[in-house]
Amino acid sequence: MIEFKLNDNYSCCYEAVPLSVPETVPILVLPKYLAVYHVRQAVNSLMWSQQLQPASEALTPKLSSQLHLQCEAGLSLGAAYLEAKQQLQGAFNIINQACRSHISLPEKPHGTVFISSMELPFLAESWFVVGDLFALCYGEPVGEFKLTPSDLGNVLEETTTEDRILKFLKSPLSVGVVENLVDAGKCYKECLTAIRKLPDGKFVQTLTEHLGSLHIKLGDLLSRVGNFVTAKDAYDAAIYAFKEAKAHVGPAQEEKVRVYKYLADAYFSLGWCLAKGMMDDGCARQNIREALNLYEGDVLCNTCAEETANAFLELAQCFQTSCMRLYKSNQWKTASSFASLALGNWQKSSLYYNAENFPEKFLATLTDMATFSLKLPNSHPKAALDILLDGRHVSETTAKGSESWNLFWNKLREVLLSMLHQAKKAEDKNIEKLSEIYLRSLRSNDRTFLTETRGDLGVTEKSLTQYIVVGAFIFVVVLLS
């Protein structure tokens, strides 16, 4: 360790870098490591030369520039470790040292011209890198490297922005994953504040994309534990960030597609969260529609078929939930239209999740539709059976034995049994045929049974939506008459 005074107010400490490169340095990080090594060697040489000068000699412009360059190289090295997603503890130490060294530097001597190696100012870059560090560490298991959560009250009491960053670079402690994500968000926002001061607004898109993605991670994490209220706030923040990124997106089509996709996914996540948390049916549907508008719009058209299908499925569930609530509150007309919309969206989803390419998803959709049709007032199990018999299009070799397959057949047998009970009450002439079909369903679960049953009961070709539209219309007429 070498320590010497550059003037009465500033002393500098420098620790020489080993001449050999440690074997633990990842290949991806090696160029940055060597850059730091060479800069430090230059600083070391200048420091020895400076030490030979009179004690009153001020920090020279050349040494000042080299010291600033050393801090930048150290920060870049820490960022390289993060990019390689290796040795996070080492990355933490390097970033910490770079930030503390930069803060300890005196003002540049008059006339010093320092050509930075960074696109962003050092402070903005520091906030960005520290934010990445927290974001990468959010999922580490307990006992592994963790970062200390910041005390926001103390942070706001700090006098300078550079001092504030040190609050995020304390000795590592074990904390929860949510705290690390929250701290990452705070760092990105500090970086955004610094970036907004740049004249052309450059880098705002990149940073807001990072911030939006982080809020999506936070929302997903909170949703998984059932904290939908706080997750909603996170998804709202993601939408706000991606909207800003969209406003700054350049002419490159690849960039535009990426940002639009992020924004669409954020709208979908918020709609899903509102629906699952049973907070607001109308807002849930509105946000899912916003997602669909982007998925099916000019920018993302034909690139998000699966996401579009998932949005249709979620919208169907929303309309189903709203329909049943309206039915219970005696709003029959609106409930009828929502029943039709639910089935319409299920049918749209099946254009992608079809029997040939996604047999399990297709069977699950048929099961959901049939279950919904049975819940409608004055519904007849025959409508549900007609829906389920479309399962004959599914190949047994791809779906048989799966959870969707078993649920489908359980629902089919439930519907056939219900039809048999109704036939007995009405003394229907087809009771023997229905009894034989039901008993056969207990022994068989293949496509042949579905095809034969369809022929035995004389089922005609109808669109899936027609079954529910007719049923919904019947129950409205009956109840209003």
> Whole domain around residue 52: which residue ranges?
1-107
Last residue of a domain, one of 107, 130, 165: 107
Angle at 279 between CA 236 and CA 350, to 5 degrees: 85
Residue 78 in any domain: the answer is: yes
Percent share of the chain, pLDDT over 70:
78
From 66, 88, 107, the end of a domain falls on 107
In a domain, 477, yes or no: yes
Q: Tell me, what's the pLDDT at 73? A: 87
Measured CA to CA, the distance from residue 218 to residue 125 in angstroms comes to 23
Residue 387 maps to a domain = yes
**For 342-397, what is each residue's pLDDT tens digit?**
999 999 999 999 999 999 999 999 999 999 999 988 888 999 999 999 999 998 77
Share of the chain above pLDDT 90, in %: 41
Q: Is there a domain that residue 166 lies in? A: no
Residue 189 lies in a domain: no
Could you tell me if residue 99 is inside a domain? yes
Length of the chain: 481
Tens digit of each residue's pLDDT (9 = 90 or more) over 277-325: 999 999 999 999 999 999 999 999 889 999 999 999 999 999 999 999 9
In a domain, 266, yes or no: no
Return the pLDDT at 124: 86
Q: Is the pLDDT of residue 477 over 60?
A: no
**Residues pairing with 14 in the sheet:** 2
* pLDDT at 326 > cutoff 80: yes
* 243 confidence band (pLDDT: 50, 70, 90): very high
How many domains does the structure of the chain reveal?
A: 2
Mean pLDDT of 328-349: 92
Residue 7 bridge partners (DSSP): 10
| Angle formed at CA 452 by CA 448 and CA 457, multiple of 5 degrees | 150
Q: What is the pTM of this model?
A: 0.81
Point out the domain boundary residue: 107, 134, 169: 107
The predicted pLDDT at position 57 comes to 56
